[in-house]
C-alpha cells in the first residue's frame, strides 16, 4: 500500500437527519462536501421509527387522512425551514423519508442509491435520542460499505468561545 490516499470524488452524499441540533450541525459538513464535489447529489434522509409510526396509525385509524402523507407534509415543512434555505445554488438535493428501524433504513437507502459517503451526527435529540441515535450511528459505521463521516456535537468551547 502506498503512503498516499487517492482523492475520491463523492457523487452521492447521504446526509441522515433526525432534526436534532447535532444533525443540524452535521448538515453544514454535508453541504460543504457537496460543494467540494462538483456535480454530486446530496441526499437528505429522515427515518421515522416503526413503533411510533405504527402506534399513530393505529391511534388515528378512524381518521380519513393518510397518516404517512401527513408525516411527509410535516417533514417537508421542517425541511423547508431547517435545510432547503441553506442549500447553495447548483447543488442537487434529493429528499427521502423512510419508515422503520433507522440503521436498516439508512444502510438500505445508501445501498439502493449507491451512496459514496454517509454523513450523520453522533447523537440525536434528548437523552433517549442520544442512546438511540448513538446506536444507529454505531451500526451504520460497522455495516456500511462506503465511508461514514460522523460529526460530534458542538463542544461548549465552540458555543461559548471558552474552553471547558
Per residue in 2-58, pLDDT (tens digit) is 444 455 789 999 999 998 899 999 999 999 999 999 999 999 999 987 765 555 555
Per residue in 63-113, pLDDT (tens digit) is 556 667 777 788 889 888 889 999 999 999 999 999 889 999 999 999 999
Average pLDDT value for residue range 126-138:
62
Per the structure block, which three cell numbers stand in for 96? 427521502
Structural domains of the chain, ranges and CATH numbers in brackets: 12-153 (3.40.50.620)
- DSSP strand pairing (148-151 vs 117-121): parallel
Per the structure block, which three cell numbers stand in for 28? 453544514
137 neighbors 150 (Cβ within 8 angstroms): yes
- pTM for the whole structure: 0.78
Distances in Å between the alpha carbon of 157 and those of 43, 96, 150? 31, 34, 19
- For Cα atoms 17, 113, 51, give the angle at the middle one, nearest 5 degrees: 45
Amino acid at each position: 500500500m502506498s503512503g498516499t490516499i487517492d482523492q475520491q470524488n463523492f457523487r452521492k452524499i447521504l446526509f441522515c437527519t433526525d432534526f436534532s441540533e447535532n444533525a443540524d450541525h452535521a448538515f453544514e459538513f454535508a453541504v460543504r462536501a457537496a460543494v467540494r464535489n462538483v456535480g454530486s447529489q446530496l441526499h437528505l434522509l429522515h427515518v421515522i421509527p416503526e413503533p411510533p409510526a405504527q402506534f399513530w396509525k393505529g391511534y388515528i385509524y378512524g381518521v380519513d387522512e393518510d397518516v404517512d402523507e401527513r408525516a411527509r407534509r410535516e417533514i417537508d415543512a421542517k425541511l423547508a425551514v431547517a435545510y432547503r434555505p441553506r442549500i447553495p445554488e447548483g447543488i442537487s438535493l434529493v429528499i427521502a423519508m423512510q419508515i422503520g428501524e433507522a440503521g436498516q433504513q439508512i444502510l438500505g437507502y445508501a445501498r439502493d442509491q449507491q451512496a459514496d459517503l454517509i454523513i450523520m451526527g453522533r447523537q440525536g435529540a434528548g437523552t433517549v435520542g442520544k442512546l438511540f441515535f448513538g446506536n444507529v450511528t454505531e451500526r451504520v459505521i460497522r455495516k456500511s460499505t462506503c465511508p461514514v463521516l460522523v460529526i460530534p456535537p458542538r463542544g461548549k468551547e465552540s458555543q461559548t468561545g471558552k474552553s471547558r
